[in-house]
A and B are shown apart, each in its own frame.
Chain A
Amino acid sequence: MTTKDKYKKVAYYPGCALEGTGHAYNRSTKAIGKELGLELVEVENWNCCGAMEVKNIDPKIQTYLSSRVMSVAANEMDMDVVMAPCNGCYHNLKKAEYDLANDADSAQVVDRLSKKAGHKTYESGQVETIHALDWIKDTIGEDGLRERVKNSLSGIKIANYYGCMYTRPRHIFPEKDSGPGSESTSKPHFMDDLLEAAGAENVDFPLKTACCGGAHTLSDSDTSTKLVLNILKTAKLAGADVIATECPTCHTGLEMHQIRAEKTLGEKVDIKILYFTQLLGMALGLKPKKVGVHENISDSMRFLKEKGLA
């Protein structure tokens, strides 16, 4: 099977954020999957991957939590690809995969906890974890998108924001720096490629993988606000109308601290924040509601109307 076919039906791991603040991302991911004829089978009775917080308490517990998700996909659903749209989930599953393959202690703890919890221990290599970007890029690709675009995104200037967890640390994503056509950990470009195929104009944005301070969004809000403000202003200076996101935590972080910067520092940066799946969905002819634009905190309806997308 080529990569293309293998990704056409994948186990879908939405993660907690996509059931809460990131619901628009969930909605738009499912909507474009349906539109493009890709099948998403949700991981049955999934649990949280452990996020950053559990890792801080104990990294091996986070490895276990992520491994359980992969174990369900592999052993109970017989799937070999897990697709996670959340950078946090994607990163954690990749990290668990790496730890299980390279660290005997982690493998032992995971085995012990899995047995006690009463499910099969996940063995490294049973599934491949991919991000929503890989999913679209490898099944439909730029050419496929170009053929399907009904409402070109032309005239929309976009700064693509990938955040930290999609590329760092690089050792857990060996495939990313594997030569021509692959994603890069220093200058990721998959989101740029897809949006450009849908007609958008990508601006030269130097902060693609900058950090928004998401780890302390509530526990050290002033730091997060400063970091977000820097990202928003830089995107604006680069000439962007929209920041495209591919992670619910990054997305919500930008939206929250855009408001916080306005309220606490009096700094208002007028830039729209949309998930790449929302932009692609509208390019494919879906109505803004279908891709959850009304569920975003930042309001972009008037802008979308001006651009002929709503």
Chain B
Amino acid sequence: MPIHEKSLIRPENLTTHDELVLDGVDVSGHWSTFIESRVVNDYNEAMEDEIAALPGGEYIHRCWQCGSCTNSCTVHAINPDFNPRFWIYLIRMGMESELLRDKDIIWQCVSCNKCTYACPRDVVPEGVMKATAHWLEMKGHTPKSPSMHFDEVFTEQIVATGKIEESRTIRRFFKRTSQGLMQPWMVEMVKRMLKHLPIGMLTRMGLATLVAPRTSNWSNAASAIQEYIDEQHAEQEKALSLPELIDAAQKDAAA
């Protein structure tokens, strides 16, 4: 199609007919390319409120679509499809099916907060990205992202011991995401690390893996945090009407 707007139209909405005559006029071929009109009729009115109910999404309603977030975004610079301003628009309009087209990349936000720095309305777009990624997972639109697995492994370790021991976190993360630990670049990195480390240091690192560091008298804090996390999860699920959904599904199955 020789018009610059082509980039704005999705390929599946373009049709060129090999042989078509309408009212006696031949409209076949390239010069008579049709653009199918797009009808949006599946607005999800609850979507904005649901995302606003998740941590980070609180200020989505303030957005006035200036585009500063997308302009400043680290990930947008390497992937033009990563577009926080556009997603905020879709969420606020309730255009769920449009948002779902990008569902597999939203979690890739690197939390650099350049958007937060640039936003004139204190929307905290970084938080909105996290809330949206959570929403997609909670609603079952996407599987748990590798990043979510990492956050969970990390948080579990802190709740349990109060501290992070990196090699253990890394091993657990690789296991949970079914990745091999022996990736060539990892092997190379460890090789270079070992080259210069004195034996004493190696022993120290080995000991850190065996006797993982922990904060003492941590158990009360641990149970208080876990209790809070569970409580928050239950509330978030309620905000997303998940319990009702599960209830309805169970009734449906029983009937």
Name which of A127-135, A136-144, A164-172, A277-285 contacts chain B.
Answer: A164-172
Q: Which of A183-234 contact B (CB under 8 A)?
A: 185, 210-211, 213-216, 218-220, 223-224, 226-227
Known contacts A219-B149, A220-B147: does B232 contact A58 (CB below 8 Å)?
Answer: yes
Complex interface: chain A residues within 8 A of B130 (CB): 56
A260 at the interface (CB under 8 A from B): yes
**For residue B154, which residues in chain A have a CB less than 8 angstroms away from its CB?**
51, 53-54
Q: Is the CB of A113 within 8 A of B224?
A: yes
Asked if B201 contacts A164 (CB within 8 A), the reply is: no
Task: Kindly specify which of B11-19, B83-91, B109-117 makes contact with the partner chain.
Answer: B109-117
Could you tell me if B193 and A53 are in contact, using CB atoms closer than 8 angstroms? no
> Could you say which residues of chain B place their CB within 8 Å of the CB of A264?
184-185
A77 within 8 A of B: no
Prevailing SS type, chain B contact patch: helix
- A16 and B163 contact, CB distance less than 8 A: yes
The verdict on B218 contacting chain A, using a C-beta distance below 8 Å, is yes
Contact assessment for A295 and B108 in the assembled complex, using a CB-CB cutoff below 8 Å: no
- Is A113 within 8 A of B228, CB to CB? yes
By secondary structure, the A interface counts as helix
Contact, CB under 8 Å: A61 / B188: no
Instruction: Scan residues 179-195 of chain B and give those whose CB is less than 8 A from a CB of chain A.
Output: 184-185, 188-189, 192-193, 195
- Given contacts A294-B196, A299-B196, whether A219 and B208 have CB atoms under 8 Å apart is no
Q: How far is the CB of B60 from chain A (nearest CB, A)?
A: 15
Q: Once the chains bind, are A169 and B116 in contact (CB under 8 Å)? A: yes
CA distance A255 to B164 in the complex (A): 20
Interface check A303, CB cutoff 8 A: no
A47 contacts partner chain B, Cβ-Cβ < 8 Å: yes
Docked complex: A43-86 residues within 8 A CB-CB of B = 45-48, 50-54, 56-61, 64-65, 68
A21 partner, pick from B112, B146, B166, beta carbons under 8 A = B166
* Interface range on chain A (Cβ under 8 Å from partner): 35 or more
CB of B170 within 8 A of CB of A218, answer yes
A113 to B221, CA, bound (A): 7
Q: Is the CB of A19 within 8 A of B232?
A: no
CB neighbors of B among A27-56 (8 A): 45-48, 50-54, 56
Complex: A205 Cα to B109 Cα, angstroms: 24
Q: How far apart sit A255 and B217, CA to CA, in the bound complex (Å)?
A: 36
Distance, CA A298 to CA B124, complexed state (A): 36
Shortest beta-carbon distance from A270 to chain B in Å:
14
A117 x B166 contact (CB < 8 A): no
Tell me if B28 is interfacial: C-beta within 8 Å of chain A.
no
CB under 8 Å from chain A, chain B span 120-146: 124, 130, 145-146
- 25 CB < 8 A contacts A-B: A16-B213, A17-B166, A20-B208, A45-B217, A46-B215, A47-B221, A48-B158, A50-B158, A53-B154, A54-B154, A56-B130, A59-B55, A59-B56, A60-B228, A68-B221, A113-B221, A113-B224, A116-B221, A164-B112, A167-B117, A169-B113, A169-B117, A185-B117, A223-B75, A226-B78
The 10 closest A-B pairs by CB, nearest first: A211-B112, A116-B224, A117-B221, A219-B146, A53-B154, A47-B162, A168-B113, A263-B185, A16-B164, A20-B166
